């Protein structure tokens, strides 16, 4: 369930980053795909690094309380925005 939340938040984060920064906007489909990849990777990497979640012990035990959900949404959204930034910058560099 945590991965699904990260993927959805990543898609939203990728589209939000594309709307906010016109230089990296690649269209809704590419923004969503880059966001999904970035959200999944971002959530996984932060969890592997032992980043503290907002849920405390319940999140570490695999529970889905509001703190764990908020943590997954935030990490997925940030990862999605970062994923789109990388894709946008690479496409801009390669098109020149």
The CB density around residue 57, as the number of other CB atoms within 10 Å, is: 8
Which sign, positive or negative, has the C-alpha torsion 47, 60, 53, 37? positive
- pTM of the entire predicted model: 0.77
Per-residue pLDDT of the chain (96 residues; tens, 9 = 90+): 788 888 999 999 999 999 999 888 989 999 999 999 999 888 777 777 766 554 444 445 555 678 878 888 888 899 999 999 999 899 989 987
Burial label, 95 (beta-carbon count in 10 A; 0-12, 13-18, 19+): exposed
Let me know if 70 is exposed, middle or buried by CB neighbors in 10 A (0-12, 13-18, 19+): middle
Report the distance separating Cα 43 and Cα 45, nearest Å: 6
């Amino acid at each position: 369930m945590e991965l699904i939340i990260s993927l959805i938040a990543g898609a939203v984060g990728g589209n939000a980053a594309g709307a906010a920064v016109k230089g990296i906007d690649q269209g809704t489909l590419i923004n969503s795909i880059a966001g999904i990849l970035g959200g999944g990777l971002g959530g996984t990497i932060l969890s592997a690094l032992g980043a503290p979640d907002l849920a405390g012990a319940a999140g570490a035990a695999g529970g889905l309380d509001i703190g764990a959900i908020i943590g997954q949404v935030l990490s997925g959204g940030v990862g999605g925005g970062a994923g789109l930034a990388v894709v946008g910058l690479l496409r801009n560099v390669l098109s020149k």
